[in-house]
Chains A and B, each alone.
Chain A
Amino acid sequence: MSRNLNLTINGKMYEFTVGDRLGQIPENETLVDTLRDRLGLTGTKRSCGQGACGCCTVIIDGKAVASCLTLTVECEGKKITTIEGLADPVTGELDPIQKAFNEHNAFQCGFCTPGIIMSTKALLDANPNPTEEELKEALSGNYCRCISHYQVIEAVKSII
Chain B
Amino acid sequence: MKKFEHLNAKSFSEAGKAIRSYRNARPSAGGTDLVGTMRAGILENNPDAIINLKTIPDSAYIRDEGNAVAIGALTTLDDIDRSELIRKDAKAVGEAARSVASSLIRNAATIGGNICQDVRCWYYRYPDEIGGRLTCLRKGGDLCYAIQGRNQFHSACGGMKSGTHRCTAHCPASTDISAYMQEIRNGNWDAAARIIMQANPMPSLTSRVCPHNCQNVCNQNEYGDSVSIHSVERALGDYIMKNSDRFYVSPEKETGKKVAIIGGGPSGLAAAYNLRKVGHSVTVYEKMPEAGGVLMYGIPEYRLPKHYVRSLVKAIEGMGVEFKLETEVGKDIDLKTIKADSDALLLNTGAWKQPILGLEGEELTVFGLNFLVEVKAFMNRQIDKNVLVVGGGNVAMDVALTAMRLGAHNVTLACLEQRHEMPAIPEEINRALEEGLVMHNGWGLGKVVTDDKGKVIGLDAKRCTSVFDEKGRFNPVYDEEDRHFFPAESIILATGQKVDIDYLGEQFKEKIASARGLVEVDETKATREPGVYAGGDLASGPALAIEAIRDGVIAARSISRELGVKIDRKYKGPRFFKPDVEEIENRVGRTELDTPVAERTLEKEDTVTLSMAEAEKEARRCMSCGCYAVNASDLSPVLVALDAEIRTTDRVIEAETFFSELDASDVLSVGELITEIYVPKMKDYRTGYMKLRWRETIDFAVTSLAYAIKEDEGVIKDARLVAGGVAPIPLRLCEVESFIEGKLMTPELAEEAAELAVATYGHPLKESGYKLQTMKSQLVKALAG
**Chain A interfacial positions (CB closer than 8 Å to B):** 18, 26-28, 30, 49-52, 54, 57, 63-66, 68-71, 73-74, 76, 119, 137-138, 140-142
Instruction: Check B477 for interface membership: any CB of A closer than 8 A.
Output: no
Q: Which listed residue, B3, B35, B697, touches A141 by the CB 8 Å rule? A: B697
A18 touches B78 (CB 8 A): no
28 A-B residue pairs with CB within 8 Å: A26-B3, A27-B4, A49-B36, A49-B40, A50-B40, A51-B36, A51-B104, A54-B104, A63-B78, A63-B107, A65-B104, A66-B104, A66-B108, A69-B32, A69-B35, A70-B108, A71-B28, A71-B35, A73-B6, A74-B6, A74-B54, A137-B103, A138-B103, A140-B103, A140-B696, A140-B697, A142-B102, A142-B104
Separation of A47 and B101 alpha carbons in the complex (Å): 17
Contact A76-B31, Cβ < 8 Å, known A119-B104, A141-B698:
no
Separation of A73 and B698 alpha carbons in the complex (Å): 26
Q: A153: shortest Cβ distance to chain B, in Å?
A: 15
Q: B114: shortest Cβ distance to chain A, in Å?
A: 14
Q: A79: shortest Cβ distance to chain B, in Å?
A: 14
Q: A21: shortest Cβ distance to chain B, in Å?
A: 14
Other A-B pairs, 4, CB within 8 Å; known A66-B104, A73-B6, A141-B103: A69-B31, A70-B35, A71-B35, A74-B6
Q: A45: shortest Cβ distance to chain B, in Å?
A: 14
Q: Which listed residue, B3, B6, B697, touches A71 by the CB 8 Å rule? A: B6
Instruction: Check B652 for interface membership: any CB of A closer than 8 A.
Output: no
Residues on A with C-beta less than 8 A from B50 are 27, 71
Residues on B with C-beta less than 8 A from A28 are 1-4, 38
Instruction: Check B502 for interface membership: any CB of A closer than 8 A.
Output: no
Q: B274: shortest Cβ distance to chain A, in Å?
A: 52
Shortest beta-carbon contacts, A-B, top 7 = A141-B102, A141-B104, A27-B6, A140-B697, A63-B107, A28-B1, A69-B35
Q: A20: shortest Cβ distance to chain B, in Å?
A: 8
Nearest A-chain residue to B698, judged by Cβ: A52
Nearest A-chain residue to B39, judged by Cβ: A49
B1 touches A70 (CB 8 A): no
Give residues of chain B (4-43) contacting chain A, Cβ–Cβ below 8 Å.
Answer: 4-6, 8, 28, 31-32, 35-36, 38-40
Residues on B with C-beta less than 8 A from A66 are 32, 104-105, 108
Q: B20: shortest Cβ distance to chain A, in Å?
A: 19
Residues on B with C-beta less than 8 A from A76 are 8, 55
Q: B347: shortest Cβ distance to chain A, in Å?
A: 57
Residues on B with C-beta less than 8 A from A138 are 103
Separation of A66 and B30 alpha carbons in the complex (Å): 11
Instruction: Check B466 for interface membership: any CB of A closer than 8 A.
Output: no
A141 touches B105 (CB 8 A): yes
Residues on B with C-beta less than 8 A from A140 are 102-103, 696-698
A69 touches B103 (CB 8 A): no
Separation of A44 and B6 alpha carbons in the complex (Å): 25
Nearest A-chain residue to B696, judged by Cβ: A140
Instruction: Check B410 for interface membership: any CB of A closer than 8 A.
Output: no
Nearest B-chain residue to A122, judged by Cβ: B107
B103 touches A50 (CB 8 A): no
Separation of A60 and B181 alpha carbons in the complex (Å): 54
Q: A78: shortest Cβ distance to chain B, in Å?
A: 11
A27 touches B105 (CB 8 A): no
Residues on A with C-beta less than 8 A from B54 are 74
Separation of A51 and B104 alpha carbons in the complex (Å): 8
Residues on A with C-beta less than 8 A from B696 are 140
Nearest A-chain residue to B52, judged by Cβ: A74
Nearest B-chain residue to A141, judged by Cβ: B102
Residues on B with C-beta less than 8 A from A68 are 35, 39
Separation of A66 and B108 alpha carbons in the complex (Å): 8
B102 touches A54 (CB 8 A): yes
Separation of A142 and B102 alpha carbons in the complex (Å): 9
Q: B240: shortest Cβ distance to chain A, in Å?
A: 52
Separation of A74 and B3 alpha carbons in the complex (Å): 15
Residues on A with C-beta less than 8 A from B31 are 69-71, 74
Separation of A19 and B416 alpha carbons in the complex (Å): 60
Nearest A-chain residue to B76, judged by Cβ: A63
Residues on B with C-beta less than 8 A from A63 are 78, 107-108
B104 touches A27 (CB 8 A): no
Separation of A57 and B108 alpha carbons in the complex (Å): 12
Contact A51-B101, Cβ < 8 Å, known A28-B1, A63-B78, A70-B108:
yes
Q: A141: shortest Cβ distance to chain B, in Å?
A: 3
Residues on A with C-beta less than 8 A from B1 are 28, 30
Contact A119-B103, Cβ < 8 Å, known A27-B4, A71-B31:
yes
Residues on B with C-beta less than 8 A from A49 are 36, 39-40
Separation of A70 and B78 alpha carbons in the complex (Å): 17
Residues on B with C-beta less than 8 A from A71 are 6, 28, 31, 35, 50, 52
Nearest B-chain residue to A29, judged by Cβ: B1
Central interface residue in A28, A52, A76, A142, by most chain B CB within 10 Å: A28
Separation of A30 and B4 alpha carbons in the complex (Å): 13
Contact A65-B107, Cβ < 8 Å, known A28-B3, A70-B31, A141-B697:
yes
A65 touches B108 (CB 8 A): yes
B35 touches A64 (CB 8 A): no
Residues on A with C-beta less than 8 A from B32 are 51, 66, 69
Nearest B-chain residue to A27, judged by Cβ: B6
B103 touches A51 (CB 8 A): no
Nearest A-chain residue to B104, judged by Cβ: A141
Separation of A28 and B102 alpha carbons in the complex (Å): 24
Separation of A128 and B313 alpha carbons in the complex (Å): 85
Q: A51: shortest Cβ distance to chain B, in Å?
A: 5
Nearest B-chain residue to A139, judged by Cβ: B103
Separation of A52 and B38 alpha carbons in the complex (Å): 16
A57 touches B3 (CB 8 A): no
Nearest A-chain residue to B38, judged by Cβ: A28
Q: Beta-carbon contacts of B682-698 to A below 8 Å, as 1s and 0s?
A: 00000000000000111
Separation of A130 and B39 alpha carbons in the complex (Å): 35
Q: B441: shortest Cβ distance to chain A, in Å?
A: 55
Nearest B-chain residue to A48, judged by Cβ: B36
B36 touches A57 (CB 8 A): no
Separation of A140 and B2 alpha carbons in the complex (Å): 31
Nearest A-chain residue to B697, judged by Cβ: A140
Give residues of chain B (486-509) contacting chain A, Cβ–Cβ below 8 Å.
Answer: none
Nearest A-chain residue to B695, judged by Cβ: A140
Separation of A65 and B6 alpha carbons in the complex (Å): 21
Nearest A-chain residue to B34, judged by Cβ: A69
Separation of A115 and B38 alpha carbons in the complex (Å): 23
Q: A130: shortest Cβ distance to chain B, in Å?
A: 12
Residues on B with C-beta less than 8 A from A142 are 102, 104
B107 touches A69 (CB 8 A): no
Contact A51-B6, Cβ < 8 Å, known A27-B50, A63-B78, A74-B31:
no
Q: B392: shortest Cβ distance to chain A, in Å?
A: 54
Q: Which listed residue, A27, A74, A119, touches B5 by the CB 8 Å rule? A: A27
Separation of A28 and B40 alpha carbons in the complex (Å): 13
Q: B256: shortest Cβ distance to chain A, in Å?
A: 62
Residues on A with C-beta less than 8 A from B4 are 27-28
Residues on B with C-beta less than 8 A from A51 are 32, 36, 101, 104-105
Q: B78: shortest Cβ distance to chain A, in Å?
A: 7
Separation of A73 and B4 alpha carbons in the complex (Å): 12
Separation of A28 and B35 alpha carbons in the complex (Å): 9
Central interface residue in B6, B8, B38, B52, by most chain A CB within 10 Å: B6
Q: B452: shortest Cβ distance to chain A, in Å?
A: 84
Residues on A with C-beta less than 8 A from B40 are 49-50
Nearest B-chain residue to A28, judged by Cβ: B1
Central interface residue in A26, A63, A65, A73, by most chain B CB within 10 Å: A65
Separation of A57 and B1 alpha carbons in the complex (Å): 20
Separation of A71 and B4 alpha carbons in the complex (Å): 12
Q: B302: shortest Cβ distance to chain A, in Å?
A: 62
Q: B27: shortest Cβ distance to chain A, in Å?
A: 12
Q: A113: shortest Cβ distance to chain B, in Å?
A: 15
Q: A122: shortest Cβ distance to chain B, in Å?
A: 8
Give residues of chain B (218-265) contacting chain A, Cβ–Cβ below 8 Å.
Answer: none
A64 touches B104 (CB 8 A): yes
Q: B217: shortest Cβ distance to chain A, in Å?
A: 35
